Amino acid sequence: MKTFKSIMGWIIPIVLGLAIALLIKQFLVSQVKVDGTSMQPNLQNTERVWIVKPATIHRGSVIVFDAKGEDPTATVSKDYVKRVIGLSGDTVSNENGVLKVNGKVVNQSFISKSQRTSGTQNWSSLRALGTSQNWQRTVSVKVPKGQYFVLGDHRSVSNDSRYWGFVNKSKVLGVVKVTFWHSNPAKDNINKQWQHFFK
C-alpha cells in the first residue's frame, strides 16, 4: 500500500502538470515556427515565436491563422503569419506605395521603401482580385464584417490578401508576440507597431 501511495505521489503531479500545460497550449499561448520570408525583416524564416490566443487584434497586429479555406492554394491546414492592415468595416487602399486605411496614411517605418513598393505600387493584383470577388475595379477595398485584410511585411514575396481576399476571424489562431529577451529592435515592430499604426 505504501508503494502504491508513493507511486501515486509522483504520478499525480506529473499528470496534473501535463494537463495544465495542454490547457495553456490549447487556450492561452503556444509556440509556432515562421515558415518563409514574407515577414522579413521583422520575422525570419524558421524563427520561433509565441502566439497569444485570447489577445485583442488591432490594426498592425501580427497574427497566425489557418490558411485552408482562405488561400485557395492551401488545400490542407497551414499556418500563415501576416500583419493585420484592415479590420472589419475599414477601407484599405494603396497607390504608389502609400498605404491608407480609412483615408489615413499608415506608418510603414517597420519596413523599407523597397519592401513597401517593389512589385506592389498600385496593387494591380488587387484589381484583378476585385474582378473575381465582385469588388469594384479600384485600388481600394472595404473589409467585410468578421474579417481582416492582411499583408506580409516583405510585400514583393508575400502571398496575402491582395491575391486571395480576407481572413475570417474564426481562422485566427492568435496574436504573435516576440519574447522580451530578444535584443533586436525590429522585434518591437511585431509587439508594438499597432500602437502607432497611423502617421
Which residues form the catalytic set? Answer: 38, 82
d(CA 196, CA 199): 7
Grid cell for residue 122: 498600385
| 3-class SS string, 137-188 | CCCEEECCCCEEEEECCCCCCCCCHHHHCCEEHHHEEEEEECCCCCCCHHHH
Instruction: Tell me which long-range contacts 185-188 makes (C-beta under 8 A, separation of at least 24).
Output: 186/41, 186/42, 186/110, 187/42
Contact between 31 and 37 (Cβ < 8 Å): no
d(CA 173, CA 64): 6
Cβ burial of 178 (10 Å; 0-12, 13-18, 19+) is buried
